[in-house]
Amino acid sequence: MASNDDNFNLKWRAYIDFRTILKIQPVQIFSELQEILCVDYPSRSTVERWAARFKSGDADVTDLHRSGRPVSATTSENIALIESIVMEDKCITVNQLEQSMEISSRAIHTILTTELGYRSICGKWVPHKLSENQRLARLNIAKKLLETYENCDSRR
């Protein structure tokens, strides 16, 4: 199943394909994509590479299969496995997880902090949960900081 990013990439690749069929130059296609997408557009060299690929007769807008290590180690299986290991041993280290799972420490740390919402406190991985009072206090402080920033005349 394709992700939203994959679908987005397929759309601009199809656009490049159709514009190449109409004999539009890659530089012009790149300018059009910049205008259409505003922020998240492919680089000029990427547009040129895809246009050359389509011009040579390859009309497949999907990426070619690549061998080697997967792009992401944050799969649902790895997330579930790390969560079960941490539930059994809250004092386990990222290095120990790295050795047992054979994925990078950076990916493990991302899974623990971003995907599972854990924090390491005194060497234990615990869920990061704020009370309602703590959330409201943070919100009030953020509002005051924003108000101070917006009212400040000495901005650079």
pLDDT in tens, 14-65: 898 889 989 999 999 999 998 888 888 889 999 999 899 888 887 777 766 6
What is the C-alpha to C-alpha distance for residues 82 and 101, in angstroms, rounded to an integer? 9
The pTM is what?
A: 0.41
Shared domain check, 116 and 82: yes
Angle at 6 between CA 2 and CA 8, to 5 degrees: 125
For residue 135, is it within any domain?
no
For residue 105, is it within any domain?
yes
For residue 108, the enclosing domain spans 76-127
Q: Could you give the number of structural domains in the chain? A: 2
